[in-house]
Amino acid sequence: MSTDHHSHLEQSGASDDSIQQTHDRLQAQKPEKADGNPRYPLLLLGIMCTAVFFGSVYLAHYSSNFDPLIFNEHQKPALQAATGPVITPAMLGKRVYTANCVTCHQANGLGVPGAFPPLAGSEWVLEPQHEKHMIAIVLYGLNGPITVKGNVYNSAMTPLGGVLRDEQIANALTYVRSEWGNDAPAITAEQVAAVRAELGARGPFTVEQLTTLK
């Protein structure tokens, strides 16, 4: 009995020694260091954050609200709009002239010899005393002979006041007064409206009747 108990104690002691030795070996072992510098991920994260920050600042300054019409990063939308194409009254008037007048007075403004008078260089187009006459002719038409640049034309001018607005008539006359070498002031819609209001509803004029207008 005594012998068995002593043997059991020795086995227990041996077991405790084994545990202690194992523990010492584990304590002595150091974990292996990972390959590379552990600070690299932090450095990379810092670079990425810096890039995002400066990228945001750049877009906020140069994006122009991501307007698809803006191509120059230094150009503002207001400047782009200011440099766009300008449509002048004469340009609009050319459309009206082409649709309503070109058959008789021709695209070159020279008219048809012996039938329809020219508008290029015409005194009825250029001289200030005929400004009101010219508006009245377009509004109400013209019958009978008229002398233009020394030549007599005897035909009828169709009245356009019933089919064209005041602005359209003004634009067409502005085009005629600035085309083919002509150089006279523009006609406004207000001028046309004033003549229309003054003369009211009536038929075509003759040259003699036009000359009475003041």
Q: What does DSSP say about strands 151-154 and 145-148: parallel, antiparallel, or unpaired?
A: antiparallel
Q: What is the CATH number of the domain that holds 188?
A: 1.10.760.10
Are 191 and 135 a contacting pair, CB within 8 Å? yes
Residue type at position 190:
E
Has residue 166 been placed in a domain? yes
Has residue 115 been placed in a domain? yes
pTM assigned to the model: 0.62
Who wins on pLDDT, 128 or 48?
128
Q: How many domains is the chain partitioned into structurally?
A: 1
User: In whole angstroms, what is the distance from residue 91 CA to residue 74 CA?
Assistant: 32
User: In whole angstroms, what is the distance from residue 185 CA to residue 194 CA?
Assistant: 17
Residue ranges making up the domain that contains 155: 89-210
Per-residue pLDDT tens over the stretch 42-76: 777 778 888 787 777 666 665 555 555 444 445 45
Who wins on pLDDT, 50 or 210?
210
Has residue 69 been placed in a domain? no
Has residue 31 been placed in a domain? no
Has residue 156 been placed in a domain? yes
Has residue 84 been placed in a domain? no
pLDDT band at 17 (very low <50, low <70, confident <90, very high): low
